[in-house]
């Protein structure tokens, strides 16, 4: 049996149960379990709390994580004073199950610490970002301790680091950027340790430079500290600003392809002239549209990426050579399936390795094999185009390939 890491959020126990389901209930019940897991992935929620005092850069950070600018319609408002003292939810424009919660600062007479945890509903968040544009305070440390008591992850983010570095650079000719950053992080760590925070996790970022300073490391750390399903949700929602993110998305989507192919082949009811099997075209249409959106290759995502890169969207679109950015409908998918033609067994062997029982149900040359190959080809084509877009969008950024 394959490990759960290769089977897109199925535990080893669930893999065993799938085999038993097929042996006892046949293909119908087996397919039902696959669809159930796909729905679980689709409907899972991720709630991220962002806390810190007014002016710390919370709104700008929330916008950056969603690929938005302050002027965009769904953006969190920036540059204004905190007046409501209420937590505010900002959903991702394409993935509404990903929510960033802007929490007001703590420690004022209006909002004492003793009321903060309950009124901000700390138990509802998956992890916390504690932001400061200057030094972290005693209140920041108190918030961290409360989060720690709940057994949840928290990360300290020092924002506007580009301004800090620029100011330091202006002070002397012997400026060493890496040394200054290391010393600043060490100073922050010592201050938080004195406040009782053991081994604080600290990132120095600029929310206007998603590929610079510690922003890439921050995103990587957040992904690594989530369970399989929530890691996938966060990864899918991240702007594709580096080739590495695109490749991570490819790996995650590749895990999902065998499930989509199984569901399509198992519940398929549409015979296609020229093919000897039936598939569920609706599943394939939805999958291709989702792949495109996740890889930031739809019109709205390309526009947001162009905004972040400060380049014309036409400049990015000039790198796109795939017809997959056009209208995706049942007729389009039918034509793709007919063109796919014969499938070599080697193309599908890796999918059959995920859950061996699939091989006994479908075999390699079948509706499963054809739909698996189709979605694999679609994914590879979109990824190649996405990589070219990223390379031209961030060509002046030496870290864009990270």
Residues 286 and 224 in one domain: no
What are phi and psi for residue 206, nearest 5 degrees?
-120, 125
Reduced DSSP (H G I as helix, E B as strand, rest coil) percent helix, strand, coil of the chain, to 5: 55, 10, 35
Residues 152 and 194 in one domain: yes
**pLDDT for position 345:** 44
Alpha-helical runs (H) found in 72-157: 113-119, 138-149
**pLDDT for position 364:** 44
Domain with 155 in it: what CATH number? Answer: 3.40.50.300
Q: Are strands 127-132 and 153-158 parallel, antiparallel or unpaired?
A: parallel
Last-in-domain residue among 168, 199, 234: 234
Low-confidence ranges of the chain (pLDDT < 50): 1-8, 83, 342-346, 364-365, 397-402
Q: Which pTM does this prediction carry?
A: 0.87
**pLDDT for position 231:** 95
Residues 284 and 182 in one domain: no
Joined tokens for residue 212: 């610079």
Residues 173 and 250 in one domain: no
Residue 306 inside a domain? The answer is: yes
Report pLDDT digits (tens) over 281-319.
888 999 999 999 999 999 999 999 999 999 999 999 999
For every residue of 254-266, DSSP letters joined together read: HHHHHHHHHHHHH
Residues 347 and 284 in one domain: yes
* Residue in the block written with tokens 């996405």: 386
Residues 10 and 21 in one domain: yes
**pLDDT for position 32:** 83
Last-in-domain residue among 212, 234, 256: 234
Which residues constitute the domain of residue 185? 46-234
Residues 230 and 304 in one domain: no
- List of E strands, 208-287: 270-271, 278-279
Residues 225 and 336 in one domain: no
């Amino acid at each position: 049996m394959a490990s759960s890491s290769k089977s897109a959020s199925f535990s080893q126990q669930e893999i065993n149960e799938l085999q038993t389901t097929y042996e006892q209930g046949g293909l119908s019940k087996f397919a039902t379990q696959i669809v159930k897991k796909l729905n679980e992935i689709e409907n899972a929620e991720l709630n991220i709390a962002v806390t810190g005092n007014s002016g710390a850069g919370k709104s700008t950070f929330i916008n950056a994580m969603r690929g938005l600018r302050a002027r965009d319609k769904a953006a969190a408002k920036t540059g204004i004073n905190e007046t409501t003292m209420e937590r505010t939810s900002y959903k991702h424009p394409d993935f509404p199950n990903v929510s960033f919660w802007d929490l007001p600062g703590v420690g004022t007479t209006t909002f004492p610490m003793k009321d903060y945890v309950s009124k901000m509903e700390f138990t509802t968040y998956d992890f916390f970002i504690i932001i400061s544009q200057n030094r972290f305070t005693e209140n920041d440390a108190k918030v961290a301790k409360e989060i720690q008591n709940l057994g949840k992850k928290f990360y300290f983010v020092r924002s506007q680091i580009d301004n800090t570095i620029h100011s330091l650079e202006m002070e002397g000719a012997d400026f060493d950027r890496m040394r200054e950053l290391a010393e600043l992080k060490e100073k922050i760590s010592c201050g938080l340790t004195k406040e009782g925070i053991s081994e604080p996790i600290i990132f120095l970022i600029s929310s206007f430079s998603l590929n610079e300073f510690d922003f890439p490391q921050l995103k990587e750390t957040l992904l690594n500290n989530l369970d399989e399903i929530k890691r996938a949700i966060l990864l899918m929602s991240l702007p594709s600003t580096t080739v590495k993110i695109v490749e991570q998305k490819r790996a995650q989507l590749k895990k999902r392809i065998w499930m989509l192919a199984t569901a399509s082949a198992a519940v398929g009811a549409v015979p296609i002239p020229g093919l000897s099997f039936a598939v569920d075209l609706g599943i394939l249409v939805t999958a291709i549209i989702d792949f495109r959106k996740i890889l930031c290759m739809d019109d709205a995502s390309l526009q947001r990426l162009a905004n972040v890169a400060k380049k014309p969207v036409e400049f990015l679109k000039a790198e796109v050579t795939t017809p997959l950015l056009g209208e995706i409908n049942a007729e389009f998918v039918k034509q793709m399936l007919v063109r796919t033609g014969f499938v070599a067994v080697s193309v599908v062997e890796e999918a059959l390795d995920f859950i061996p029982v699939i091989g006994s149900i479908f075999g390699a040359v079948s509706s499963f094999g054809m739909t698996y190959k189709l979605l694999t080809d679609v994914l590879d084509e979109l990824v190649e185009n996405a990589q070219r877009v990223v390379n031209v969008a961030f060509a002046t950024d030496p870290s864009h390939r990270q």
